[in-house]
Chains A and B, each alone.
Chain A
């Protein structure tokens, strides 16, 4: 047990260090911050922004007063970060295994006393940590904006929303890791992951069109619906379970695909 833990830590550390040496990681973080910061300002402060809208509504009296600006802001901003992540996450996950395959380092891992599970878990933890790292500064900005709200907001809502964001990211990264383990091409991995994520993102729209029992089943798989619950500050166990299922599924499929790789190699 201890050695498994050590192995996960070893892979985790290497993965995380890899991001600090990778220009791509810096580029992604920079882009994420730029867009995140830009939208933060636009949502709050632009002439069509949230504050301006509420102010106008206030002037016309009555109805506007029931808008809870901080929660409304959090909801809009988190759903925006979610959509932004849909583009960023496939790029983060694309190299997880494809790069190892290309450089031949998978042969090192596969001949070391370390299980496929430990490798996959270490890698996933590493990339999720990196993602949290790029979300944190934006959270800081949000906190500054929200600290001016009166009455002060409940931190639990904010924490729950961001937990949802991280769970969403971990699910996508886990599935993306599996896709990455299928190919040596990082570009292909990114595209395939993006398509998969898009499908899971809009699966409830598909489900609606489909209708019936199948539609019912499909609608539960939607990332968007469950994520929206979180951004509204609702802790929904079914959503939590869904995200955890996606994460475990991704890990399981990755471990299996690496194992299966040995049989098809020629």
Chain B
């Protein structure tokens, strides 16, 4: 549904994102997790056609976002970091206007606006001027304008930033309820948010995607597993078999990477965290007559990212726990009044 291939964006001589590639399957929610300034907003803007990529391509519903911009625009709903709202309009008028410019047929508009308002719990606020709404409601109007034309793909940039904890939960539930019929990408710099709302998470740091996996896998990777990336040449089945036979290796899977030379394979190996199996893996692979081209730990880079994430949060919110710990909602640490998501805005 949404595909990005080797997206690059440079501003002057600084690279905002480098070789960003990912896929989002229909009906899935992909979380884009990374610290502020990692390139999340840039990626979102490229996907919507708002910014052109320096190189690489992205497709939404099989239309290239830059060359077929108009076709793509018809099929996406987009909530930028600051919700684009006309403050002097009422909620209902505004949504009508958006439906109109998104090309919803005149006969369907009222019904679409009605259903968007119902979904976002805005019915009671329909005739209120947007400038009189609280921040949480404005955010909901922002989400409503992204879904009013029933687009197959929805792109949400930091949808919960600046909301209070109760509003955050509401918005997350709303987003979850949209999955299935819509394909969603949302960006966030809060780890629990990504793990609670998304089917898969792509972690982006300093413009590069460092890991893409389900939240559970990411969590377990964090919790005492070691990961390796291995590039070999030769019999793939033999390699997998030998690797998995090593004591302490849990899984070995083939990574799908394009552009590898013939007969080369890249494997992702997960082992127990308390053993360092690198040496053993190397000798087993070479002993089996396979070519070993690369062997490196992946765990380290992932840890780096989370360290970065947490240190960033620490300086912003002075509450490290709030970003890391509360996987259970009733966590006693949430007594602090400071809003965990209320970091300063990106860029």
Contacts and interface: CB of A to CB of B under 8 A. Distances in A.
Determine the main DSSP class of A at the interface with B.
helix
Interface in A18-43: 18, 21-22
B143 interface: no
B198 to A, nearest CB: 22
B88 A103 contact: no
Nearest to A22: B88
B44 to A, nearest CB: 10
B101 A7 contact: yes
Nearest to A14: B97
A103 B84 contact: yes
A104 interface: yes
Contacts of B145: 108
A111 B78 contact: yes
A170 B70 CA distance: 29
A7 B82 CA distance: 24
Contact of B86 (A3, A103, A112): A103
Interface in B79-107: 80, 82-89, 93, 97-98, 100-103
A204 B239 CA distance: 84
B241 to A, nearest CB: 50
A109 interface: yes
B74 A6 contact: no
A21 B52 contact: no
Given A262-B51, A263-B52, A108 B87 contact: no
Contacts of A110: 50
Given A18-B86, A103-B87, A108 B98 contact: yes
Given A103-B85, A103-B86, A111 B52 contact: no
Interface residues of A, number: 28
Determine the main DSSP class of B at the interface with A.
loop
Q: Of B84, B87, B145, which is in contact with the most chain A CB atoms at under 10 Å from its CB?
A: B84
Given A104-B82, A107-B80, A262-B50, A112 B88 contact: no
Contacts of A105: 84-86
B76 interface: yes
Contacts, number: 70
A14 B95 CA distance: 12
Nearest to B88: A21
Interface residues of B, number: 30
A130 to B, nearest CB: 14
A14 B90 CA distance: 12
B48 interface: yes
A10 B80 contact: no
Nearest to B86: A105
Given A10-B100, A10-B101, A14-B97, A104 B51 contact: no
A95 to B, nearest CB: 11
A10 B97 contact: yes
A23 to B, nearest CB: 10
Interface string A86-129: 00000000000000000111111111111100000000000000
B205 to A, nearest CB: 20
B84 A3 contact: no
Contacts of A265: 51
A237 interface: no
Given A107-B50, A262-B51, A265-B51, A113 B84 contact: no
A110 B84 CA distance: 11
Contact of B74 (A17, A113, A266): A113
25 contacts: A6-B100, A7-B101, A10-B101, A13-B97, A17-B89, A18-B86, A18-B88, A103-B85, A103-B86, A104-B82, A105-B84, A106-B84, A107-B78, A107-B80, A107-B84, A109-B101, A110-B50, A111-B48, A112-B73, A112-B102, A113-B101, A113-B102, A114-B73, A262-B52, A266-B12
Given A13-B97, A21-B89, 15 more contacts: A7-B101, A10-B97, A18-B88, A21-B129, A104-B82, A104-B84, A105-B85, A106-B84, A108-B98, A111-B49, A111-B50, A111-B78, A262-B50, A265-B51, A266-B12
10 A-B pairs with the lowest CB-CB distances in the bound complex, closest first = A108-B84, A21-B88, A10-B100, A113-B73, A105-B84, A104-B82, A111-B48, A113-B74, A266-B11, A112-B101
